[in-house]
Amino acid sequence: EAQVTQNPRYLITVTGKKLTVTCSQNMNHEYMSWYRQDPGLGLRQIYYSMNVEVTDKGDVPEGYKVSRKEKRNFPLILESPSPNQTSLYFCASSLFQGGYNEQFFGPGTRLTVL
């Protein structure tokens, strides 16, 4: 089944404790992206990747890191999480560049930073 998977689905952590949210797609997509969803703000892009080893900042990249060492994986890293990073996070992928293609979304990761 074609899908985007994220792990974990739920995470409660404390300020400053490094964490990684994994994202994997099995559709051989070139483009991958991370979004956060917050009430009243919709979906905002954090980082995106046009291809392996190519990543770029989205609209809200502060406090996050990403890497794209393999085509299928695009982990999101929070080196020192803070309470303002409490949010619902979505990973997405699309066949080619993200602005002209349907993006497929993972099920989401709800993160709480205490």
Which residues sit at the interface with other proteins, rule CB under 8 A? 4, 33, 35, 40-45, 48, 50, 56, 58-59, 90, 92, 97-100, 102-108
Shortest reach from residue 75's CB to other proteins, in Å = 17
- Please say which residue, 14 or 96, places its beta carbon nearer to other proteins: 96
- Please say which residue, 83 or 107, places its beta carbon nearer to other proteins: 107
Shortest reach from residue 11's CB to other proteins, in Å = 15
Shortest reach from residue 28's CB to other proteins, in Å = 18
Residue 83 is classified by DSSP as: G
Shortest reach from residue 73's CB to other proteins, in Å = 17
Query: Which residues have CB under 8 Å from 93's CB, separation 6+?
Result: 4, 25, 27, 29, 31, 32, 33, 74, 103, 104
Cβ atoms of 102 and 1 closer than 8 Å? no
